[in-house]
Chain A
Amino acid sequence: MGGQHFLPLTQLERQEMLGAMGAKSVADLFQDIPGEILLQGPLALPPTLSETEVFQHLSSLAAKNKNTREYVSFLGAGVYDHFIPSVIRHIIGRTEFYTAYTPYQAEVSQGVLQSIFEYQTLICQLTGMEVTNASLYDGATALVEGAVMACGITRRSRVLLSRAVNPFYRQVLQSYFNGRSYKVEEIPLQSGKTDPDQLQHSLSEETAALIVQTPNFFGLLEDLQGVADLLHEQGGLLLVVADPLSLPIFKTPAEYDADIVVGEGQALGSPSSFGGPLLGFLATREKYLRKLPGRIVGETVDINGKRGFVLTLQTREQHIRRERATSNICTNQALNALAAAVYLVTLGPQGLREVAGLCLQKAAYAREKINSLAGYAEAFPGTYFKEFPVCIPGEAPALNKKLLQSRIIGGLDLSKFYPELQNTMLLCVTEKRTCAEIDLLVQELEAWR
């Protein structure tokens, strides 16, 4: 039998304990399961493996993948290959953090609670917003929660959604909204950005929120000057999807007078892990604090007047308010929030500006070189951060196949999400990409033409 080293009871103890409770055999403990459904034989599962064997088995599965440590990656689209300081793995690897449950008993959970309180403060600093929660599942579900929140605040049911928002997020919002009375109206693109005329046209007194992303899915900065005023005049809210690593240098959603900010925090210290775990964040104005979904950590004092932290405003939550809760969320992404907090303080204000600046410079270098290649062209003009779409002389999957031979993981095939963008690839250049790696990409692109 496998896993015995996780099970401390000996056969003798089992007998002794059964005796102590007046049971004759283990079967007595399962007599409440109706005979018709009591399993007769063993489950048909693959054979048990020892620790050595299981590690070999998993290593062989892992070895069938081409990972971004051994290959040079230019993929972004919401999950990014940024530098992860080694301190993070050691801190989130403390078993006091990772083998704890949600901090229900605050007096013995100050480690998790204080770290989340610090995380909340850091997210407010980064976005410029006033309050946030303890984290959500990912950027996509954070967008859903933000949209639901906006509908609740405005008591309206129609949201305007820019087509330049991450298509994965848009799909998730649609799935969630299909079940209920909320409606999504998409604002089309104009040269890779949210079409301002269509936006004006669609905006009405029924609009709960406008959802825009900046930098948007194509890496372009949206022009959000005055947009919040337009919404606020009609009683709607501005919901901005933000890349946290653009915020140290680019204008924050708060400076655009946004009401709700959501985003994906994986770039803050978590590996890509085939797309999960990720880290959703949602920040807003203080006046909407009680409309926030999920866990919130607050400061208080103990019986002796000493500062401490607790889960607070729980009357918003499912375990108290049940069907009237602001959301059903309970387990979130606490360990990834801790990683994000450690990341942010490790980099500090100067390091964060440097990371953003390096991405900006290196992506600009790659963009200029690639756009100048014969057969390649800039897809849209504008101000970019770390991602950019390129028109390529052929189909993206074929190019990516060729790049793999040079140990390069190429960009995202945009035609899968935007049929009008045939032969267009979304590339991402982070601070980790070296000049030599970018030059190799450029060389391979030129050779493929």
Chain B
Amino acid sequence: MKKGKALIFEMGHAGRRGYSLPPLDVPPKPLAELLPQELARQLPLEIPELSEGEIVRHYTNLSRSNFAVDLGFYPLGSCTMKYNPKINEEAAGLPGFAFLHPCQDGSTVQGALELIHRTEECLKEITGMARFTFQPVAGAHGEITGLLVIQAYHRARGEDRRRVLVPDSAHGTNPATAAMAGCEVVQIPSDARGMVDLAALQKAVDEHTAALMLTNPNTLGLFEEDILEISRLVHAAGGLLYYDGANLNAIMGYARPGDMGFDVVHLNLHKTFSAPHGGGGPGSGPLGVREELAPFLPLPVVEANENGYYLDYERPLSIGKVHSFYGNFAVIVKAYTYIRMLGADGLKQVSTDAVINANYLMSRLKQTYHLPYDRLCKHEFVLSAVKQKKKGAAAADVAKALLDYGMHPPTVYFPLIVEEALMVEPTETESKETLDQFIAAMEEIDRRIGENLTEITRAPHSTPVGRLDEVKAARQPRVRWSREKDREKD
């Protein structure tokens, strides 16, 4: 095997150090008195020893082999990879936010509680919901919290409803969450328009239905035009309507989940509200509910009275806690900063531009790539590489080829109902020039498939590593570093 970048474990030297610690300024006691031998670690601690400069160089070099929004176009469908304003980071880094302990007395964290309260007021208005909890730290965490709230609601009404309906175009987290909440998953097919099949839905809803989980616009980027009828059907059977907020970026200021009939809504502050994704978190997935469901929200919620803001634990119907404390507070600070800078008009313009950019791309790219659902889209759309597949290059090959153009590929092979799917979400923070460059790249890749297929199927060629063998990684899993001599024993 050829070596790639050195791992940190292959660097350094015994005796080197990268730290400086405060002195022991209390009279020391013999260690054996504080740490009896039978409680002491015997295992060696094999962590490399490096100086501070070596460590900085290692990670700085690693960072240079990573693509990011700040480096280029990132049209990863369903992930809303918009620009992350720098002021967000400044705000969250203020010592008055970053260095607060969650168990401090309420009188010492009034500003933090006020910020949570103010953010809640904004999100209520944007979504049309009555109350929010900020404990969920990711979209999927919001989903499980939502289903626990829904179950508690049904139980309080003396009903045991355990079926969760999920469209076949849904994010994988929806059925996984339902299973995690101890529910049975019923899949609802999409119709020829790419929307929830109303007849199938009508057949599926009954007295066992806990909820229908829906993304609107859906994962094809299409607005569910029958949403009011869907809402009527689910509610008539006594079920609730759950809104997966992954796609809210399409409709801010145009429509609200609450007005569509949704009872429970999770948002992704790391998507719609510009908090960065951090290479896979931290995120924030606050959950909003209608008034009737508010008593079931996790403990505590932020309330205000004449003495100021406080954490309310006196909520007997609450499902309990879903996070150690109040969620990813630092991410909430970033989202609030963003909302205050954009305001009502700005957020509406965000959705307008996200939709303009997506429709512009779609109208141009459908000339080269198959567009299975050829209709007005919202913030994203799904192409299919079936034509390219016939010529020998699959969606994955198109994606890998794009890497050589300095762009991140769209989401591939999702949603599952589209063969060779390429799910494109440009977001509103991209200029027309960038979109045109992307169109040109996609068209050129299609041409090159006809001219020199292997160049595409062996792409990428200009990245820090070439195409990686995922099958080998899964068949012979090596999920931590070990010394060469120990490896031979494996």
Contacts and interface: CB of A to CB of B under 8 A. Distances in A.
Interface string A42-79: 11111111110011011111111111111101010111
A180 B67 contact: no
Contacts of B321: 140, 168, 171-172, 175
B325 A335 contact: no
A265 interface: no
Nearest to B364: A20
B398 to A, nearest CB: 12
B310 interface: no
B180 A6 contact: no
B319 A175 contact: yes
B330 A276 contact: yes
Contacts of A277: 137, 281-282, 328, 330-331
Contacts of B138: 137, 329-332
B91 interface: yes
Contacts of B347: 3, 43, 45
A18 interface: yes
A17 to B, nearest CB: 4
Contact of B147 (A38, A179, A250, A305): A179
A225 interface: yes
Contacts of A24: none
B100 A274 contact: yes
Interface in A7-29: 7-9, 13-14, 16-18, 20-23, 26, 28-29
A369 to B, nearest CB: 9
Contact of B280 (A66, A101, A169, A317): A101
A422 B406 CA distance: 62
Interface in A309-334: 309-310, 312-315, 317-325, 327-334
A404 B104 CA distance: 10
B47 A125 contact: yes
A68 B98 CA distance: 9
Interface string B165-207: 0000001110111111111010000000000000000000000
A306 B344 contact: no
Contacts of A312: 470, 473-474, 477, 479
A191 interface: no
Contacts of A350: 17, 49
Contact of A140 (B143, B324, B378): B324
Nearest to A59: B94
Contacts of B430: 8
Q: What range describes how many residues of B lie at the interface?
A: 35 or more
A323 B179 contact: yes
Contacts of A447: none
B287 interface: no
Contacts of B48: 345, 348
Given A7-B353, A61-B114, A95-B68, A67 B95 contact: yes
A139 B324 contact: yes
B340 to A, nearest CB: 5
A83 B19 CA distance: 10
A193 interface: no
A360 interface: yes
A65 B472 contact: no
Contacts of B56: 87, 90-91
A43 to B, nearest CB: 4
Interface stretch (A196-204, A229-237, A336-344, A370-378): A336-344
Contacts of A247: 41
B131 interface: no
Nearest to B105: A400
Contacts of A310: 468, 470, 473
A78 B102 CA distance: 10
Contact of B18 (A34, A141, A348, A400): A348
From A54, A73, A120, A351, residue with most partner B Cβ within 10 Å: A54
B473 A97 contact: no
Given A29-B376, A114-B62, A272 B341 contact: no
A95 B70 contact: yes
A94 B325 CA distance: 28
A158 interface: no
A78 B95 contact: no
Interface stretch (B32-40, B235-243, B382-390, B445-453): B32-40
B265 interface: no
Given A175-B298, A365-B26, A397-B105, A26 B2 contact: no
A347 B19 contact: yes
B478 interface: yes
A81 B104 CA distance: 13
Contact of A115 (B62, B177, B344, B399): B62
Interface string B82-114: 111101011110111111111111011111101
Contacts of A109: 66-67, 279
A449 interface: no
Interface in B460-482: 460, 463-470, 472-474, 477-481
Interface string A429-444: 0011011101000000
Given A103-B279, A108-B408, A303-B466, A361 B9 contact: no
A328 B173 contact: yes
Given A274-B326, A348-B49, A335 B260 contact: no
Nearest to B260: A37
B63 interface: yes
Contacts of B185: 322-323
Interface in B45-95: 45-50, 52, 55-56, 59-60, 62-71, 74, 76, 79, 81-85, 87, 89-92, 94-95
Given A100-B279, A273-B100, A273-B330, A431 B21 contact: yes
From A18, A31, A49, residue with most partner B Cβ within 10 Å: A49
Contact of A255 (B31, B43, B91): B43
Contacts of A96: 63-64, 66-68, 70-71
B316 interface: no
A401 B107 CA distance: 10
Contact of A79 (B50, B65, B102, B339): B102
Nearest to A273: B330
B125 A361 contact: no
A404 B109 CA distance: 13
B352 interface: yes
A361 B254 contact: no
B97 A274 contact: yes
Contact of B282 (A103, A120, A328, A336): A336
Given A3-B341, A178-B148, A364-B29, A107 B255 contact: no
A176 interface: yes
B223 to A, nearest CB: 4
From B27, B66, B329, residue with most partner A Cβ within 10 Å: B66
A169 B376 contact: no
Contacts of A261: none
A140 B346 CA distance: 37
A395 B42 CA distance: 41
A66 B104 contact: yes
Contact of A39 (B22, B102, B254, B409): B254
Nearest to B59: A91
A97 B54 CA distance: 18
A131 B480 contact: yes
B122 A46 contact: yes
A216 B458 CA distance: 53
B90 to A, nearest CB: 7
Contacts of B181: 179-180
A421 interface: no
A252 interface: yes
Given A38-B254, A276-B325, A401-B105, A61 B96 contact: yes
5 contacts: A4-B349, A61-B96, A98-B279, A117-B7, A334-B278
Given A2-B346, A251-B38, A300-B472, 9 more contacts: A3-B346, A7-B346, A21-B362, A37-B228, A46-B340, A64-B96, A81-B101, A107-B466, A409-B101
7 smallest beta-carbon distances between A and B, as pairs: A275-B325, A62-B96, A275-B102, A111-B66, A180-B182, A64-B111, A48-B343
